[in-house]
Structure 1
Amino acid sequence: MEALIAYLEGIDPILAALLATLFTWALTAAGAGLVFFFKTMNRAVLDGMLGFTGGVMVAASFWSLLAPGIEMSPGEGFVKVIPAAVGFLLGALFIFGLDKVLPHLHINFKESEKEGIETPWRRTTLLTLAITLHNIPEGLAVGVLFGGVAAGFEGATVGGAVALALGIGLQNFPEGFAVAMPLRRFGLSRRKSFMYGQSSALVEPIAGVLGAWAVLTFQPILPYALSFAAGAMIFVVVEEVIPETQLDRYTDIATLGFIGGFIIMMILDVGLG
């Protein structure tokens, strides 16, 4: 791990962000690849996976994004927290806007409950877009952290960025499976189910590169950018991830999955950051 951190410290931060987010995409693809080996997925397992995803995202929002963002903000007292508050609100509003415009359908919801503008797109496409919406703030968060390290901001470390990428990658693995298996159940071939599942995370490298570039180009925005990513992730968790785990009788499993995801992300961030 120390060798990896040293390597990422020595290369271009945009390239580092790209490599880190390609890793998170690869784990999504690996999870989606399980569709070639399993015919069905237990609903309890699915809810536990989604709970784990939520726990990782909430922990990452604080330990990897909000806390460093506040630490590197200028001023004292209420003045110091203003960038975090503004960025957090803007991030939530950004995903709120996408949620209202982008056609999508959550994993455990009926087709009549699809969201966004009306479209004739098939259910498979809408399911993939729902997970794509989850992945935008995740890629952005990784890229912003690598950009902050290169810009020399106190509180931004390569170890912290690596911890965030590892945490997001860990929750992307079951997420890829959680996308591919319902698609298989809807009648798609294993190959198509895999392709749709892995494609839901292709947005992460794009968002990661854009995040790193934005911070390097406009360095004063870093505290706002970190909090922006945190606000976007918390919106996704509260509006989408948690409700999806509460539609069946496995709510306790989902809650324990959330706790486990939170603990793992906290340990990774504190241990590596």
Structure 2
Amino acid sequence: MFEYVKDLGLKPSRAYSKRKRTDRILLHHFGSNGSVQSVHDYHIGRGHAGIDYNVVVLANGDVVWGRGLDYCGGSVNNTNAKTKGFNDTSVAIAVQGDIEHNVMPQVQKDALFRVVKDIAQHYGFTRPDQIVGHDEAAGPGYTDCPGKLYPLQEIKEYALGQSVVVPPVIEQPEVSIPKLTRNLKLKSPMMSGEDVRMAQKRLDHHLVDVGGIDGVYGDRTRKGVIAFQKARIAEGYDLGSAGADGVVGWRTWELLWQG
């Protein structure tokens, strides 16, 4: 049934525990376009055994094993009264991408529908409350995962064999990213120009405080860039060995124009 699911050979930091029972499917999104390996490494860095999800559906439609079908996950907070113990009794499925702000590609959506239905059938699930989004499980206001554009109701209906009308795919316009001709950083005399102003505008778009959009790369802008870079690294993005250095190079520049 799961012959289409690929094994990436992810190596856990310690052995996973097998589930003793399976009560539900938990649905998530990465919240970023990070790779499975980067998310796996990030979760290990937080002290987890490995990637928190059992299965991951990539943006290109590939379905891959995270922890594997039979093991306990780590995708929800055990200190939250509503989800306490859920990691030991749930199959966690995550999709690559930020589905809070972006419509899922059709090929990814099709693959997600398939694997959720197969897992529901594998465990004999017949009720909608056995297929839940992270936000449903955790309670109102706790998280926006799996994202407001996630087709949650459609998945439930499809996986449980109910009628479903799939809405047309919303094509998102491509964002044209201006060319970056120099690295933007704090120096003396301070850098200024339209490229600095654009960076400040994009930081403001991401709700990062830069102390005003004045086209001057001052200390407040540098601190804002560091905060933005740290947030992207936490989501699994690779910013290279420099990490959160407060310099807007080509990689940080590209990330500023996402979302």
Normalising to structure 1: TM-score of the pair? Answer: 0.29
More strand by share: 2
More helix by share: 1
Larger Rg: 2
TM-score (norm 2): 0.30
Which is bigger in relative contact order (C-alpha 8 A, separation at least 6)? 1
